[in-house]
Amino acid sequence: MRKYLIVFVLTASSVAAWAWSASATTQPQTFRLTEVSIPKNDRPFGDFTFDSAPVAGDEFVSRNALYDHGARVGHSQILHTFITGFGPKFTHKATILFVAQVFVPRGTLLVQGYAPVSPNGPSPLTLPVVGGTGAYADARGFLNVLKVTGSKSTLEFHLQP
């Protein structure tokens, strides 16, 4: 009898672990969050100090608060790595590799991709969602960064099952 109980517990544990690791997204999902920069939050890596034009290899990290209909629901942490700079006189767009982890109540989403950025400031862009945890385990899809104004932007996630 004890042998059957052990087999049952092991089987149930395996099924539970499999179900937990499977993507909880069973149908396409779209949702929006408002992202707000946390002041004095950008932290450079290495020698990059924001007092000159960035060049290839310069990096900084930002952390932002996330809101849904006015209620804070999470935060994001983003590593920005310049692949190309703006030029010494800020004459052209730079290319940045974004690696962002988005922390929301039911898990996290990992967003990673390259995008051009204007020397005049951020502009709307689309980046791939390449993974996640919790309810977003094995997430895939894309993120549209919309309505970039000052320290606020609208994030529109499009997730696939």
pLDDT tens string 77-107 = 999 999 999 888 888 899 999 999 999 999 9
Query: Binning pLDDT at 50, 70 and 90, where does residue 149 land?
Result: confident
Task: Quote the CA–CA distance of 134 and 105 in Å, as a whole number.
Answer: 9
Q: How confident is the model at residue 41 (pLDDT cuts 50, 70, 90)?
A: low
User: Is the residue at 126 inside a domain?
Assistant: yes
Query: What is the CATH classification number for the domain harbouring 111?
Result: 2.40.480.10
Residue 77, domain member (yes or no): yes
Say what percent of the chain tops pLDDT 90: 56
> What would the mean pLDDT of 55-60 be, rounded to a whole number?
91
- 79 inside domain: yes
Averaged pLDDT, 120-126: 82
In a domain, 18, yes or no: no
47 found inside a domain: yes
Residue 7 lies in a domain: no
Number of domains in the chain: 1
Mean pLDDT of 66-87: 95
Residue 2: pLDDT band by 50, 70, 90 thresholds? very low
* Mean predicted confidence (pLDDT) in 4-25: 40
Q: Which domain holds residue 120?
A: 25-160
Question: Is 12 among the domain residues?
Answer: no
The pLDDT > 70 percentage for the chain reads 79
Is residue 9 one of the residues assigned to a domain? Answer: no
Query: What pLDDT sits at residue 18?
Result: 37
Which pair of tokens denotes residue 6?
A: 């052990």
What value, to the nearest 5°, has the Cα angle with vertex 78 and ends 143 and 155?
30
